[in-house]
Structure 1
Amino acid sequence: MSKISQPLPGAWSSFILAQGDEAGRTLSLKGRAAWMLNQLIDAGPQGLVTAQFPGVRISAHVLDLRMKGLLISTEYEPNGGEFKGRHGRFTLMSKVTRCAREARP
């Protein structure tokens, strides 16, 4: 599992979409939305799962990013253990470039 990075001042907060009908559009995010997009970018094609971020409502942040026009896939995988079932693996499909950092207070 990856190390959890927390939203911090100075995190990437502006992004440029690099594909599709909205290519070139700048997306300005803050707070958890910017944090979640950074996590998805860092995860790359492996994607990420909610177990990597205990206590964080990953699916809610993914929905927020989808509503802003980002393509994020969800692949369902089985999981074992005491609470057998399945979980989603979220992968950023949109090509996005980081372009600005949040100003430090």
Structure 2
Amino acid sequence: MTGLSRRQQTIQVNILNDNNEPCGLPVTLVGRECWTLRKLLDAGERGVSSLDHIGPRLSHYVMKLRRAGITIETVPTLHGGDFPGVHGVYVLRSRLSVLEDNTRAAA
């Protein structure tokens, strides 16, 4: 993927309140933040983990989404294997209305 096509990936959402009304202005995300939000939207309650997406700095992108006002829960999850332990699974908790999304077209 070239730098140009990565920059072109954008998603714009409204964060919704309990009455499904927008809270403030729309949020536009590009690049890896856009990619992360798309993964969270697609995963639903299953969530997203760095074990599923090895390579990208998932926790950093989740932090940036949180700073944009999007609520994401970190669910501690046990795992086995050669190095058993606990890892975080990120689950989108904000209700969002997707206004624009060109992530599918740019893939």
Classify the TM-score, shorter chain: 0.7 to 0.9
Give me the identity figure in percent. Answer: 30
Superimposed CA distance per residue, residues 24-46 of structure 1 (whole angstroms, 9 cap, x where no aligned partner): 53001110111111110111111
Give the equivalent residue in structure 2 for 1:18.
16
User: Hey, what's the Cα distance between the residues in 1 that align with 2:8 and 2:67?
Assistant: 24
Residue 78 of structure 1 and its aligned partner are, at CA, apart by 1.0
**TM-score between the two structures when normalised by the length of structure 1:** 0.80
The structure that is helix-richer by fraction is 2
After superposition, where does 1:57-76 map in structure 2 within 5 Å?
57-76=57-76
Q: Is the 8 A contact 2:10 2:31 kept in 1?
A: no
Give the equivalent residue in structure 2 for 1:88.
88
Q: Is there any run of 5+ residues in structure 2 with no aligned partner, and where?
A: none
Cα RMSD of the aligned pairs, angstroms, is: 2.5
After superposition, where does 1:39-54 map in structure 2 within 5 Å?
39-54=39-54
The list of structure 1 runs, each at least 4 consecutive aligned residues, that deviate by more than 6 angstroms after superposition, is none
Residue 11 of structure 1 and its aligned partner are, at CA, apart by 4.6
Residue 19 of structure 1 and its aligned partner are, at CA, apart by 1.6
User: Hey, what's the Cα distance between the residues in 2 that align with 1:66 and 1:80?
Assistant: 29
User: Hey, what's the Cα distance between the residues in 1 that align with 2:77 and 2:101?
Assistant: 34
Q: Is the 8 A contact 1:32 1:61 kept in 2?
A: yes
Q: How many pairs does the alignment contain?
A: 98
Q: Is there any run of 5+ residues in structure 1 with no aligned partner, and where?
A: 1-6
Q: Is the 8 A contact 1:17 1:97 kept in 2?
A: yes
User: Hey, what's the Cα distance between the residues in 2 that align with 1:16 and 1:82?
Assistant: 42
Q: Do structure 1's residue 30 and structure 2's residue 30 form an aligned pair?
A: yes
SS of equivalent residue, structure 2 residue 36: helix
**TM-score between the two structures when normalised by the length of structure 2:** 0.79
Given residue 63 of structure 2, which amino acid in structure 1 is its aligned partner? L
